[in-house]
Amino acid sequence: MSNPIYARVRQNPKFHDLVRRRSRLALTLSAIVLVSYYAFMMVVAFAPQVLRAPLGEDSALSVGFPIGAAIIVVSWLLTGVYSHFANGVFEELNDQITRESQP
């Protein structure tokens, strides 16, 4: 692994920028999903009456169902956000780093 191309990549400031930005985005999106999921689980565990409440007076659907569905949809959307950045911004930076690291 002592290839000089690897050394040039590691020394490139754009590589460090790419790693920093990608890590920050991944951690932020993961935190959003985990916090929302565990907040929902805490409500299920400690205040189930909140989620058990009906949506309306004549509704058979409880409040918990749309909240749970929203958590799933938000997770899918955040996956799309990450894919957008990975295939756009990060891929462009990756291509620049690759071009600049060639001998």
Which letter, b or e, does each residue of 30-55 get, where b requires 16 or more Cβ atoms within 10 Å of its Cβ?
eeeeeebeeebeebeeeeeeeeeeee
Total residue length of the chain: 103
Can you tell me whether residue 54 is helix, strand or coil? Answer: strand
* pTM, 2 dp: 0.81
pLDDT for 101: 87
Indicate the pLDDT class of residue 66, thresholds 50, 70 and 90. Answer: very high
pLDDT in tens, 74-91: 999 999 999 999 999 999
Task: Assign residue 70 a region (left: φ > 0; alpha: ψ between -120 and 50; beta: otherwise).
Answer: alpha
Alpha carbons 15 and 9: distance in angstroms, whole number: 6
pLDDT for 1: 54
pLDDT in tens, 14-46: 999 999 999 999 999 999 999 999 999 999 999
pLDDT in tens, 48-62: 999 999 998 888 899
Can you tell me whether residue 62 is helix, strand or coil? Answer: strand
Higher pLDDT, 83 or 101: 83
User: Is-contact 12 98, C-beta < 8 A?
Assistant: no
